[in-house]
Structures are given as C-alpha cells and as structure tokens.
Amino acid sequence: MRTNTAPDTTAGATAYRTATAGSLRGAHAGERVRLAGWVHRRRDLGGLIFADLRDRVGRVQLSFGPDWTPPDVLESAKALGVEWVIAIEGVVVARPGSNANPDMATGEVEVHVASLTVLAESETPPIQVARGATEELAAEELRLRYRYLDLRRTELQQALEARHRAFQVVRRHLTAEGFWEIDTPMLTRRTPEGARDYLVPSRVHPGEFYALPQSPQIYKQLLMVSGYDRYFQIARCLRDEDLRADRQPEFTQIDAEMSFVNEEDVFGVAERMIAALWREILDVELPVPFPRLTFAESLERYGTDKPDLRFAMPFIDVTDAVAGSEFRVVQDAVESGARVRGIVVEGGAALSRRELDELTVIARGAGAGGALYLKRTANGTSGPLAKAVEGERIAGFDARTGIQQGDLFVAVVGHFRSAVPGAGDRNRVLGGAEVALDALRRHIGDVRGLRDAGAHAWVWITGFPLFEWDSDGERLAAVHHPFTAPEPGDVRAVLDATRNGPPDGRAAWELYSRGLSSRAYDAVYNGNELASGSIRIHDAALQRSMFQALGIDGDEADRRFGFLLEAFRYGVPPHGGFAFGFDRLVMLLIGAQSLRDVIAFPKTTAARALFEGAPSAIDDHELADLHIRTIPTEGAGAAGG
C-alpha cells in the first residue's frame, strides 16, 4: 500500500501538541516539539528510560536522560505504564546510524524529553496492543469484546486509514464523472430483496413497521425517474440473513445508478473508479477495459460464476474420449448421463503421492465421490484414469487435453450444471460436480503458487439467467432481483407467459426451461464477487409482467410496489447501475484476512456486538410503548459468539 513518507507535522496540531508523533523525520532534528499520545512500550536501562509514544499517525521513541531531563521528570518516567496517556515537550534529536531503527518510520530520530504530564493512567489492558512480530494475537472473541483497545493496534489503524482513503477516492472520482451523492432513507417500506428485513416497530402507528434497507434499489430507480441522471451513495445496507464466517448483518456498498446507458456505459464508469482506487491506494495501474465472460462461458470453462483468472487451467470435457472404456467407474457414470471433466496441471506429474491423495479429500469435501488423475511421464501414462485412456483412445485424449510429458490431468466424474436448463433439468443450484472441480482447480493453483497475491485479475460476468427455480415453492425466483431487465430477445417470452396473470407451476417451469437471459452482470476480482448490477426494467407493463412471472399478481404488486409502479406511469428513462461491496473491496485491496479487520465495530458470526452487548433484551413497559410483546422461546437470552 502506498504510504506518505513525509507527513505534515502540523496536521493535527492542537493545544496539547505541535506535531504528531508519527510525523517526525530526520529533517526535524533540532526542533522543539510538544507531543501527546499513548505509551506503547517502556524500557528502563537504569540511567536512561526509553518509551515509544504512539498516536494515530505512528510512533516515536522518547528518551529520558539525566543530561536533558529534569530529575523530577526522570523519576515520573520510571512509573509510566503501557497505554497511559501522556503529553511531553522536548527536542527532536537525530539518532546515530547504528542506533537508528529501520523498522520505524521515525527511526532516524528520538525526542529528548524535558517535561512530562500524565493525562490519564491505564489499568493493565486485557489484550496486548503492543505486539511483537512473533507474538500471537489474542483470540478474536476477546479482541471484539475489547474492540476499543484492539482498534489501537497499528494493523487496524492502517486498515481504517486505507478505508478512509478509499472513501475519498470514490467520492472524488464519481463526482468528477458527473455523479451527485444523494442520501436515501434508512426507515423504509418492506420489499422482497432476497433476505429477511430488519423491522422497526412504529410507536405512533400501532401494528405497523418500518424496514431497514437491504439496499437503496427502489430509491435509486426513483431518482432516475426524477431526472437525476447520475446518482451515487456510499450506502449502509442491512440484511437479516443466516451469517457465514465472513459476512456481516450490516455492511457498506458503493451504489451508483445512471440514466440513458447500456452495459458498456456502466462498465466504463465502474472500471475507471476501480482503476483510480488501485492507482491511488496500491500504486498499481490496472489495464482497462476488464475482460468479459458470459455466465455460460464461465460455467463451462471454470464451473463457477466467480472464476479466479490469475491462472488458466480451464475445464476440459473428456467424456467422449473415455466413453466405451472397460474402466467401470467411468463407464457406469457415463451411461447414467454423467460427464468426465478435468484440468491439465502443467508439470503436475511431479506431485507426490500424498499431494495426489489430498486431491480426493478436496473433491469429496466439495461433494464429489472423489478425484481421478492421469500422469504423463517418459514411461507413459499412470494413475487411476489411465485405465480409461488406453490403446486407440490415447490419441483422442491427447488431442482433446493437449497434455504433455510431465503434466497431470485431474478429473471429476459426475453431473455438471448446465448454463441453459433443459426441459428435464431441475438441478439449477450449484452443488454438483462443477463445484468439486472448481475447488480442485483453486487448490492446485495454491499448491503450484499460481494464485499470486500480487496479481489483479478482474472480469465482468454477463448474461446471467433471468430466472432460477425455487424447488421448495415450485415457482420461479429472480436470479438477480425483480427489477432486472430481460435480454431484448427474451422480453416477448415474459410478456406472453404472463398475459393471463401469474403462470401456474407447469407454465412457470416451461418458462424457466427456456433459459431466458437477463441484463445482469457481476464484477469478479481474483475469484471473489465484488459487485453486481443490471440494466433495469423501465417499462411499467414489463415490470408488472415480471412480478407476475414471480407469482406476484396485480393486487399484490400494487400493495408492495405501488409507489414504484405509479412512478413508472410518468416517463422513465432507460437506466442501470452497480453496487460494489465496499467492505470486501477494501479487505482485498489491502490484503486483510477478514471483513472484521476493515470495519471499526463489526459483529460476530452470530450477529452479536460483544463489547456493547447488542442485541439486548428490552423491558416490557418499553415494548408496550411500541405495541408489541415478546413470546418466550426455548434458549432465549443465550449469548452467541
């Protein structure tokens, strides 16, 4: 990450300090300064006492000695404890070359202290703020419990500085592109957006509730209706969904919407914004435009809509090349309609038996029966899959895979998801053989050192399906959201299927089976989805048809989305936009290990804030003011981690 090697010493000057501790450099030697901050470490060498003073900008060494420090100040310095808050006055002195500390930005100098004021003492901290390179962090749950202490750590301060800088880059860039930053409400109406809403009871309207926004989706579309061609917002979003290890119930996204655009217009704005972030934060120049892959191409080549393109290794279908062999594991699967697909690992024949056995563990952990492999060496072929590639099949296999001497072919046998469903295909969700082969590809990329942390592989995934099949409800669901426009060639199919209202189960299945495409897109970085967006529906009749296709009849649509449909009666421009997950963007931008490392006050995986104890129980009389009451449930009140 690019850093400023000569910060302005006057930035942050107050009545307590003329400079910040972390801003001092060799050029400041001889200056008299006042500093204030926390005692990071203290070392007593008898006649000399050293302490590192820390503030938000950095650390500098303080030196207390009999030749420059009054006796009473020297005596007070002996009592200093870590995390005490102090103010000092002294002279900046150059440290001789042998005494300079190259690990500190201020390592060329120290401050000879003449006066010391203790502003606040500290008890022994329950977690360690000053941590050496070989010292382990405290457990995360303990650090979250004492987050205000954890936030004093240099790593977190640098992460939040990077987050701040990223905020400013985004704001400057989008403003220069003609966007206006406009706030949208936090108390809004409940609308379906894929997850449960957080609900807020109304005191003045008994029995009614606000919802906290999952995204500003409808408001930003209404701003387009209102004539605000280019809107953006660094928006807070809240979703009451089942949490995963690295997901937060409240998060931040860069939200943008623009009128009179197509996909390429949106991509251009997003790419220039991302390029500005990488340039100003990392000093890396990203090539633009980013590559494009259709959803079908991505699924066919990499088994996922979030491909890691830092390395090649695409999927290769060898079903035809091995069909008819006497290797029953393969033949029985092929006869049942399964496929045999795999990847060529250049130089992979050198993998050890332990590494090869691990491939089966990886594949099974991802839901497959195992992994098959074939080695090509100077002595010929070997490995379990070699039994299916013998005699006349060798030439066809070699031509299909391009395998060379010294290479390894790793395969998975199973049912692979198709980008376009057939009439009998009800397996629309990821979870088939493609997931296992994708896991193997990523694992081998790690083993072979191909997933370079310093590489930056962006790609747009386009042409997502318009619908997915909700097998539980036996109905259609929107892959993106119900405001996403179909591809122009698929509009008529939606209108025709909903001419008489919501289609029944069979008709809905037939519509799904047509494999209609949407104008949705995702931005993927190093195998991580960082943004999604779409060109929106801007025609009221088509929007009503889309609701009907999703099982929302006219009355329900008016009840839930009447304000949007009414606005659509008064002239709507073509429009579209994107939303980048800002927390994850910053995490990957600076190489942090967790979303919680780039959020000042995050929740645990159980959606709890440990240090302030949220959520918490509310007294019955307060609930009565809100016209609600709680229903006791088994285990209520148990704390989670």
**For residue range 511-525, what is the model confidence (pLDDT) as tens digits?**
999 999 999 999 999
Higher pLDDT, 473 or 382: 382
The model carries a pTM of 0.91
User: What is the per-residue pLDDT for 632?
Assistant: 79
pLDDT at 125: 95
Which pLDDT tens digit goes with each residue over 62-110? 999 999 999 999 999 999 999 999 999 999 999 988 889 998 999 999 9
How do residues 231-282 score in pLDDT, each as one tens digit?
Answer: 999 999 999 987 777 789 999 999 999 999 999 999 999 999 999 999 999 9
pLDDT at 292 over 70: yes
Of residues 165 and 470, more confidently modeled = 165
For a pLDDT cut of 90, what percent of the chain falls above it?
A: 80
Contact 451, 308 (CB under 8 A): yes
User: What does the block give as tokens for 552?
Assistant: 């929302």
pLDDT band at 571 (very low <50, low <70, confident <90, very high): very high
122 pLDDT more than 90 = yes
- What distance in Å separates the CA atoms of residue 598 and residue 133, rounded to the nearest whole number? 20
At residue 192 the predicted structure's pLDDT band, cuts being 50, 70 and 90, is low
| Residues 6+ positions from 623 with CB-CB distance below 8 Å | 629, 630
Give the CA angle between residues 106, 112, 115 to the nearest 5°: 120
With 50 as the cut, is the pLDDT of residue 4 above it?
Answer: no
- Position 430 pLDDT exceeds 50: no
* Order of all β-strands in the sheet with 380-382: 316-317, 339-345, 408-414, 372-377, 380-382
Q: Evaluate whether 383 touches 375 at the Cβ level (below 8 Å).
A: yes
Cα separation of 628 and 626, whole Å? 6
Task: Please give the distance of CA 242 from its chain centroid, rounded to a whole number.
Answer: 16
Rounded-to-integer distance, Cα 549 and Cα 87, Å:
68
Question: Band of the pLDDT at 193, cuts 50, 70, 90?
Answer: low
- Crossing angle between the packed helical segments 263-277 and 154-176, to the nearest 10 degrees: 140
Ordered by where they begin, the domains of the chain are 21-120 (2.40.50.140), 156-289+582-622 (3.30.930.10), 311-451 (3.30.1360.30), 456-572 (3.30.930.10)
What mean pLDDT comes out for the span 108-121?
Answer: 97
Task: For residue 287, name the pLDDT band (cuts at 50, 70, 90).
Answer: very high
Question: What pLDDT is stored for residue 190 in this prediction?
Answer: 86
- Measuring CA to CA, which residue among 607, 603, 536, 584 is closest to residue 259? 536
Q: Is the pLDDT of residue 424 over 60?
A: no
Q: Is the pLDDT of residue 427 over 80?
A: no
Q: Please, is 589 exposed, middle or buried when counting C-beta atoms within 10 Å of its C-beta (0-12, 13-18, 19+)?
A: buried
* Mean pLDDT of the 556-584 span: 95
